[in-house]
Amino acid sequence: MTDRVAVVTGGGAGIGAALASALVDAGNRVVVVDLDGDAAQAVADRLGERARALGGDVADDAVIAAAVDLAESTFGPLDVFVANAGTTAGMGLDSTDAAWSTALNVNVLAHVRAARLVVPRWLERGTPGYFLTTASAAGLLTQIGSATYSVSKHAAVGFAEWLSVTYGDRGVAVSCLCPMGVNTALLNSGFDSDREGASVAAAAVTSAGGDVLEPEDVARMTLDGMEAERFLILPHPQVLTMYSHKSADYDRWIAGMRRYRSTLERSAPDGNAPDRSTPDPAADTRQG
Ligand SMILES: NC(=O)c1ccc[n+]([C@@H]2O[C@H](COP(=O)([O-])OP(=O)(O)OC[C@H]3O[C@@H](n4cnc5c(N)ncnc54)[C@H](O)[C@@H]3O)[C@@H](O)[C@H]2O)c1
């Protein structure tokens, strides 16, 4: 993918910053949007003339529109929208409506609002556009400890699927990035915070082994997946195995996940587990 104009949300850090960087390295031009405007600006400064920055909350229609306007007025018609910004707001059953609202707004409705703006433009122009969703392995499997993250990421996968089924024949490419652990602030401090249950989250991080990828590796794999126009981009290939075990025998998968959750709770008895904690409960079941 080269010579395209892209918007990357949540591009001020982590996977989004790495995606913006990989896109620019490949000869594209990028607008980096982030709640943290200074972080977005620092990334754009580092990337040089082929990048611009915008601060704002991508759950807000006006911010999405401003990002697309900035991209089009600076670089030309938008080709690629990367809906990457994400939040770990909320946790379990005690999550407030406000936390649910943040999770659903940032992790899925921001994608809906972006697609509502850019897809009709692509169809009208008659040129192909690319919508990349950063969901999570939690959107295919689950997120032990966090109902808000599990549900909002499942919804993000569902929306990306729907978009591809509905507009794929009309030249809109859609990919859905579903990583497990990636070495970013979201994983290292988002789940592993001082919120109730954080010690289980920390235990899950420790017990998940050497699976945590660097954002730059995830970005490289993502661009490769987009080059091939693959819908599901899985930087951790074992997610596909887990997902097939889940679909092959849902009850067995749930039983395995219950066992994994209680193992984590025994070692850290107060709560939740992080993104990298989606193990293969089917394999767990076979061992048990
Ligand atoms: N790190 C992981 O292990 C992991 C695994 C699977 C999926 N993900 C997903 O990857 C995406 C990127 O996360 P990351 O790990 O790079 O985290 P990160 O914390 O390093 O970066 C996320 C960036 O998004 C920005 N952001 C958050 N809410 C925003 C909003 N409403 N508007 C604009 N910007 C906002 C943050 O300021 C931050 O700069 C998220 O959707 C996350 O759920 C991460």
All domains of the chain in start order, with CATH = 5-287 (3.40.50.720)
Q: Is the dihedral of CA 17, 7, 136, 127 positive or negative?
A: negative
Q: Does the pLDDT value for residue 197 go beyond 50?
A: yes
Residues 6+ apart with CB under 8 A from 158: none
Q: How far is the CA of 249 from the centre of ligand 1 (A)?
A: 31
Minimum mean pLDDT range among 2-11, 180-189, 265-274: 265-274
Q: Report pLDDT digits (tens) over 49-105.
A: 999 999 999 999 999 999 999 999 999 999 999 999 999 999 999 999 999 999 999
Predicted confidence (pLDDT) per residue in 206-249, tens digit: 354 448 999 999 999 999 999 999 999 999 999 999 999 999 99
CA-to-CA dists, residue 122 to 9, 169, 263, angstroms:
19, 13, 49
How far is Cα 87 from Cα 107, in angstroms, rounded to an integer? Answer: 7
In DSSP notation, 186-228 reads: IIIIIISSSSTTHHHHHHHHHHT-S-PBPHHHHHHHHHHHHHT
Name the DSSP class of 246. H
Q: Write out pLDDT tens, residues 93-147.
A: 999 999 999 999 999 999 999 999 999 999 999 988 999 999 999 999 999 989 9
Predicted TM-score (pTM) of the model is 0.93
Nearby residues of 96 by Cβ (< 8 Å), 6 or more positions away = 90
Q: What is the average pLDDT score of the chain?
A: 89
Pick from 7, 9, 15 the residue to mutate for probing ligand 1's pocket: most ligand atoms within 8 Å of its CB.
Answer: 15
Which residue, judged by its Cα, is nearest atom 23 of ligand 1?
Answer: 10
- Identify the three-state secondary structure at position 280: coil
Taking CA atoms only, the protein residue closest to ligand 1 atom 40 is: 86
Give alpha helix (H) positions in the chain: 14-25, 37-47, 61-75, 97-104, 110-125, 147-167, 185, 198-207, 215-227, 238-248, 250-267, 281-287
Cβ of residue 182 lying under 6 Å from some atom of ligand 1: yes
Q: Residue 286: pLDDT above 50?
A: no
Question: Is 146's C-beta closer than 6 angstroms to any atom of ligand 1?
Answer: no
